Every structure is written in C-alpha cells, then in structure tokens.
Amino acid sequence: MAALVLMWASAIFSAMIDNIPFTAAMVPIILGMEQQGINVTPLWWSLAIGVGMGGNGTHLGSTANVFIVTLSERLAKETGDESMRITPGVWFRKGTPVMLLTLVTSSIVMWLFFDFFNTAFK
C-alpha cells in the first residue's frame, strides 16, 4: 500500500513542481526508512514510476516539458501559425488524462508484480 501511495503522491507533486527537485527531496526520506530496516526496494520503483508519469501531467512536471512549451511558442510566433503553440492549458488538458491512465496502468502492474518489485535488485 505504501508503494502505491508513494507512486500517486509522487506523480501529483511532480505534476505541480518539476520532478527533479521532488525526487531530490524524497531520496533522503527513503534512505532514512532504509536505515530503520525497512525494505525500500518497492518504494524506489514507486518513486521512479510516479515522478516519471507525473511529469506528463503539466508543462511544469519536467524540465523538458518547459523547454518544449517555450520552443512551440517561439515557433508559433516565427511562423505566425497559432496552431503550433502548446500552451500550459493545452498541455494540462492533454497531459493529465495521459498521466492518470499511465498511473492506473502502473498501479495495476505494481500490484500484480509486487513480489518482483520487492526483490528486484536487492
């Protein structure tokens, strides 16, 4: 259950802020849990999946997303073709459903193959 909660929380927070600072903030927390004797292997997987999928939700979710939005705005201005512009609103409307779908899929995979994620790379 903790792995799924972390996955979804990571995705939501990564959609609101860039996924790199969020991941950097979570690393010491998970390492602290490991020092207390908790098997954190599935939590590492959940964090990686959550921030990866959450980065698709908004243009702020990933540095690459911000770059693409900026690039599309410049291209739209240079060509005069407004259809080339990817606004933050467009990204949110298109990216959030993708984020949710991939999170549901990832949650099902995590639930079905938890033993693999629990022991992989131990």
Contact 39, 118 (CB under 8 A): yes
- For 98, the domain range is 2-119
pLDDT at 121: 59
pLDDT at 99: 95
Identify how many contiguous H helices and E strands the chain contains and give both numbers.
Answer: 6, 0
pLDDT at 112: 85
CB atoms closer than 10 angstroms to residue 27: 11
- Given a cut of 50, the residues of the chain with pLDDT beneath it are none
Structure tokens at 95: 């990216």
For the stretch 63-79, pLDDT in tens is: 889 999 999 999 999 99
pLDDT at 117: 66
State the total domains in the chain.
1
